[in-house]
Amino acid sequence: MSDFGVDHVPMTDFAPLPTGCKLRPARPSDRRFIRHLLHQFRQEIIPPPTRMQILRQGATLSLLAAISCYLIATIDWTDLVNFLMAAAIATGFMILLVVVLSWNESWLNFWVIEHQGSPIACAKLRQQPHYSVLYDVYVMSQWRQQGVGSFLVSQLAQQATKPLYLACMPPLVQFYSRLGFTPVTPKALPPLLSYDLGIPGRFAIVPMKLI
């Protein structure tokens, strides 16, 4: 999703980057920065849980606890231990696999803007044969309102396979509209692209397209 930490300079007259800044593809050494920046990104765009969500989580945990107590009381102890050990091993393996894959690929397809060697902004551009998708556009708070986000999006849009898609929160629709993007209805998107943009189950997200 492309949402937070961008500024508001029209694409037709976006200013050059501030002195000392440059755009470049991400390198393996940028992985820690990108992970840190994406953590900040998600903290800004994901609202705190509602009271209803907290109650649902509590009810789910209570149900799981009740099921666990029932299993302990009714299943043979040896079988239960073997089952739990197998489940723990399988879960641990899957978690390790996900962590390794996400760590190794956390910088691929990313671009960063750096200032005097230190990254200050990032975005991920994934190109497919017939379209591209822009994700995770984020600018550090102290560098906002200086044209950094507009420059980043505009430059990546120029090299992307068209159409270029992204998804943003409603407050950012006007910003991306000034950069040439237009809103599209989720139903008009192929299911795979809709899932790739993170739209299912998140009604506040607005998909947009640049032709």
Token pair in block for residue 120? 């200050």
Q: Give a yes or no: residue 136 inside a domain.
A: yes
What is the rounded CA–CA span in Å between residue 193 and residue 1?
A: 12
pLDDT of residue 164: 97
SS3 14: coil
Range of the domain at 16: 11-45+108-210
Q: Give a yes or no: residue 126 inside a domain.
A: yes
pLDDT of residue 80: 62
* Number of domain units in the chain: 1
What is the rounded CA–CA span in Å between residue 108 and residue 124?
A: 8
Task: Please compute the mean of the pLDDT values over residues 93-113 and round it to a whole number.
Answer: 64
Q: Give a yes or no: residue 160 inside a domain.
A: yes
Task: Please compute the mean of the pLDDT values over residues 39-57 and round it to a whole number.
Answer: 71
Q: Give a yes or no: residue 125 inside a domain.
A: yes
The pLDDT of residue 98 is above 50: no
Q: Give a yes or no: residue 68 inside a domain.
A: no
Q: Give a yes or no: residue 183 inside a domain.
A: yes
Residue of higher predicted confidence among 72 and 38: 38
Q: Give a yes or no: residue 54 inside a domain.
A: no
The pLDDT of residue 78 is above 80: no
The pLDDT of residue 54 is above 50: yes
The pLDDT of residue 203 is above 70: no
pLDDT of residue 178: 94
pLDDT of residue 105: 52
Which CATH number does the domain housing residue 134 bear? 3.40.630.30
My answer on whether omega of the bond before 48 falls inside 30° of 0, hence cis, is no
- Tell me the whole-structure pTM to 2 decimals: 0.69
Q: Give a yes or no: residue 152 inside a domain.
A: yes
